[in-house]
Amino acid sequence: MQQLINTLLIGVSIGSIYALMALALVLVWRSTRVVNFAQAGQAILSTYIAWEVVNRSGSFLMAFILAVAIGGLIGGLVESGLMRVLLKHANEGPVAAVAPVIATLGLLAVIRAVVGLIWTNEGKRFESPVSTAGFVIGDATLPFSRLNLLIIVTAAVVMIIFSIIFQKTNLGLALRAAAYNPEIARLSGVRVATTRTIGWIFAGAAGAVAGILVSPNDSLTPNSLDTLLVFGFVAAVIGGLESLIGAVVGGLVLGVGLSFVLIYLGTSLIFPTTFVVLVLILLLKPAGLFGAKGARSA
Amino acid sequence: MHSPKFLKNPNRRRLLFFIFLGWLLLLIGDRVDELRVYQGALIAIYTLAIGSVILLTGYSGQLSIGHGAFMAVGAYAAALTQIYFSPPIIITFLAAVIITAIFGALLGGGAARLSGPYLAGTTLALALGLPTLANQFEFLGGETGLSFDVGFPPERYGFDFTLYKWFFWIAALATLIMFWVMQNILKSRYGRAWKAGRSNQAAAELLGIHVGRRKVLAFTVSAGVAGLAGALLGMISIVSPSAFPLSLSFAIITGAVLAGLTSLAGSILGGLTLVIIPEIAEAISKNVSESEAVSANVPGLITGVLLILTVLFAPNGPAEQWHHHKEKKKLKAKSKGS
């Protein structure tokens, strides 16, 4: 029973990080119809910035806020500097359909290389801001630590902020309208191009949060977020790639599922399970659990 | 035999061209030093892998960014065949092709239903995860990997015939044969059906082309070819998870994009670029600073920038762009003349 609860809690903690990455991918997909593989790169750059600030100032909170803000800025720059030009340019020829995806891959390579040039490829240790020792209840030590709690709380706060923006503000309405039908949104006075940039800014910030939360207590290298990108993608696909709520649910489902696999079956099955889940979802329910109708209302 | 009549048949002309190319390559391979011969083998292997991506992405319209996974399957298949059965080397390579093709067919069955971003993400997940499987199973050799030993060159080639030259011969020959096969497939009705499905799926289906089935076939062929490239790569290095990192998949797709996704003949250009880039990086790091960070990251920087620039300015590849440019010029000249 105790192990069951532990597994569940750890799963929610990993899952909320997946959910944030999935959110980032979904936000970009909704606004631009591109799966942004450079999201891992943008997130790693933000995470390194956070690491640098923590090392210099010692304040995790300041590092977090600064890095997330810069993450958003990077997202905005990528959209206005690269994607906008690209979508304007490349709309003819058989390669047009794959061009944006390839461009994001190129960007991923560039960002990684830049990060490696600045901070070298050696693994950096990102000190956790809070204790990573498990909580002690009675005489039992749980694997669930303060860091896990911090992750869950931070992710929850970010998601609540997002849902308030999307559900309660005019900006959120504009973002939803532009995602639902850009032409009609434009006709009714929504600046679609601006909402697209804002979508990328939010995505950059969400990706940065995911990167910073996943890195403590682990070795930070220019490629250390690759797996997070894949898990985020799988989570987004489970949720339907269109739906923000779907992304969160997808992330949590994947996190808890993998946590069970990890504890009851062993590490070796993490990847095969993820891949099988991805393929099954794509074959059986390509629109995801929250696809089509659900997506439009979120 | 070399009557003009014989040469009129395009298939025969192509065959002769490939034989001539092979002869030329062998001559070159005899006259350069060891390092260049090794790089020659590498170029051949990359060219083959890029060809497999172009076949899939350029002709059949399915974007795979995880061809490193197929290469890994081919390499492991070859190494295991060699270790357990040690058949003649040609059979080993054939086994690698067939096993990877079967793997590709299974995957393609699912992938044919996927479009753009879903397929790209799925292949990405595959490329990232599949090589790590080797760590979980004893017989796959874990992190140290397996060695795929094709043996020494036959003695009748003489003593100064080095191992690397032997590798180069095998890689170049395999690549030439495969390109000849791929050319023929693309000129056949299958190739035309792929192009039709890529341009307009609905129209192709109206013509009675089963686009889904054709896509699976493209996946199968492409996987088989990539498997061979992987087996060759395993031959000149080692068959381990770290030999097939995600960056290999990225390098291959980069090469394919640089070569121009729409022409198989451009593959060699991509292969050359992939081998030249680390050389340039090395030269830069020697002249600028000796730090490891520079030599490790400059290749990534160059490939990334090249990818973005290509997509921005020459989405169909530099060769195609050049062609397009010339045609435009011609058209202009014509309109002026009239």
Q: In angstroms, rounded to a whole number, what is the distance separating the alpha carbons of residues A173 and A165?
A: 9
Half-sphere exposure of A137 (CA within 13 A, CB side): 6
Q: In angstroms, rounded to a whole number, what is the distance separating the alpha carbons of residues A144 and A138?
A: 14
pLDDT of residue B290: 67
Band the pLDDT of A293: cuts 50, 70, 90. very low
Closest partner CB to B300 (pick from A101, A112, A279): A112
List, as ranges, residues 272-311 from B with C-beta within 8 Å of A: 291-294, 296-301, 303-308, 311
Cβ of B301 within 8 Å of Cβ of A274? The answer is no
Which domains, from first to last, does chain A contain?
Answer: 2-120+139-297 (1.10.3470)
Looking at per-residue confidence, does B157 or A159 come out higher? Answer: A159
Closest partner CB to B307 (pick from A106, A120, A275): A106
pLDDT of residue A188: 87
Share of chain B above pLDDT 70, in %: 89
List the alpha helices (DSSP H) in chain B.
4-8, 10-31, 34-53, 67-84, 89-111, 116-129, 163-187, 189-199, 201-206, 211-236, 246-259, 267-287, 292-313, 318-337
DSSP output for A40-87: HHHHHHHHHHHHHHHHHH--HHHHHHHHHHHHHHHHHHHIIIIIHHHH
Q: In angstroms, rounded to a whole number, what is the distance separating the alpha carbons of residues A108 and A102?
A: 10
Looking at per-residue confidence, does A275 or A61 come out higher? Answer: A61
Test mutation, B311, B312, B325, chain A, max A CBs within 10 A: B311
What integer is the mean pLDDT of B260-288?
83
Q: Flag whether pLDDT at B265 surpasses 90.
A: no
Name the most confidently modeled range: A155-159, A277-281, B275-279, B330-334: A155-159
Residues of B within 8 A of A123 (CB-CB) are: none
Cβ of B315 within 8 Å of Cβ of A90? The answer is yes
Looking at per-residue confidence, does A186 or A204 come out higher? Answer: A204
What integer is the mean pLDDT of A45-61?
93
List, as ranges, residues 197-236 from B with C-beta within 8 Å of A: 198-199
Band the pLDDT of B206: cuts 50, 70, 90. confident
What integer is the mean pLDDT of B83-105?
92
Asked if A82 is an interface residue toward chain B (Cβ–Cβ < 8 A), one would say yes
- B178-199 pLDDT per residue, tens: 998 888 888 888 888 887 777 7
Test mutation, B126, B246, B297, chain A, max A CBs within 10 A: B297
Q: Flag whether pLDDT at B257 surpasses 80.
A: yes
pLDDT of residue A204: 96
- A176-186 pLDDT per residue, tens: 888 888 888 88
pLDDT of residue A287: 76
What integer is the mean pLDDT of B47-72?
89
* Separation in Å, CA of B128 to nearest CA in chain A: 7
Asked if B86 is an interface residue toward chain A (Cβ–Cβ < 8 A), one would say no
Using only C-alpha atoms, what is the Rg of chain B?
Answer: 21
Share of chain A above pLDDT 90, in %: 45
What does pLDDT average to over chain A? Answer: 87
Q: In angstroms, rounded to a whole number, what is the distance separating the alpha carbons of residues B69 and B226?
A: 9
* Separation in Å, CA of A170 to nearest CA in chain B: 30
Within 8 A by CB and 6+ apart from A173, the residues are none
Cβ of B306 within 8 Å of Cβ of A106? The answer is yes
Q: Flag whether pLDDT at A256 surpasses 90.
A: yes
Cβ of A102 within 8 Å of Cβ of B250? The answer is no
Residue at A75: amino acid letter: G
Cβ of A278 within 8 Å of Cβ of B122? The answer is yes
Residue at B236: amino acid letter: I
* Separation in Å, CA of B117 to nearest CA in chain A: 6
List the alpha helices (DSSP H) in B188-241.
189-199, 201-206, 211-236
Within 8 A by CB and 6+ apart from B10, the residues are B187
**Within its chain, how far is the Cα of B178 from the centroid?**
10
Test mutation, A18, A35, A101, chain B, max B CBs within 10 A: A101
Cβ of B65 within 8 Å of Cβ of A278? The answer is no
Lowest mean per-residue pLDDT among A22-31, A259-268, A286-295, B308-317: A286-295
Residue at A140: amino acid letter: A
pLDDT of residue B7: 66
- Structural contact between residues A2 and A42, judged by C-beta atoms closer than 8 angstroms: no
Structure tokens at B314: 């020459």
* Separation in Å, CA of A251 to nearest CA in chain B: 16
What does pLDDT average to over chain B? Answer: 82
What integer is the mean pLDDT of B150-158?
72
List, as ranges, residues 163-202 from B with C-beta within 8 Å of A: 198-199
b/e B204-233 (16+ beta carbons within 10 angstroms → b): beeeebebeebbbbbbbbbbbbbbbbbbbb
Q: Flag whether pLDDT at B2 surpasses 70.
A: no
Residues of B within 8 A of A85 (CB-CB) are: 312
List, as ranges, residues 115-134 from A with C-beta within 8 Å of B: 116-117, 120-121
What integer is the mean pLDDT of A111-130?
89
What integer is the mean pLDDT of A272-284?
83
Band the pLDDT of A284: cuts 50, 70, 90. confident
- Structural contact between residues B69 and B249, judged by C-beta atoms closer than 8 angstroms: yes
- Structural contact between residues A216 and A128, judged by C-beta atoms closer than 8 angstroms: yes
Share of chain A above pLDDT 70, in %: 95
pLDDT of residue B337: 58
What integer is the mean pLDDT of B276-302?
81
A187 CB-contact burial (10 Å; exposed 0-12 / middle 13-18 / buried 19+): exposed
Q: Flag whether pLDDT at A297 surpasses 60.
A: no
Asked if B22 is an interface residue toward chain A (Cβ–Cβ < 8 A), one would say no
Within 8 A by CB and 6+ apart from B286, the residues are none
**Residue A125: beta bridge partners?**
A219
Share of chain B above pLDDT 90, in %: 17
Cβ of B124 within 8 Å of Cβ of A286? The answer is no
Asked if A283 is an interface residue toward chain B (Cβ–Cβ < 8 A), one would say yes
pLDDT of residue A85: 85
- B301-324 pLDDT per residue, tens: 988 998 888 888 877 666 666 666
pLDDT of residue A267: 77
Cβ of A105 within 8 Å of Cβ of B199? The answer is no
Closest partner CB to B293 (pick from A95, A121, A230): A121
Closest partner CB to A102 (pick from B126, B135, B307): B307
pLDDT of residue B117: 76
Domain residue limits, chain B: 12-244
What integer is the mean pLDDT of A47-55?
94
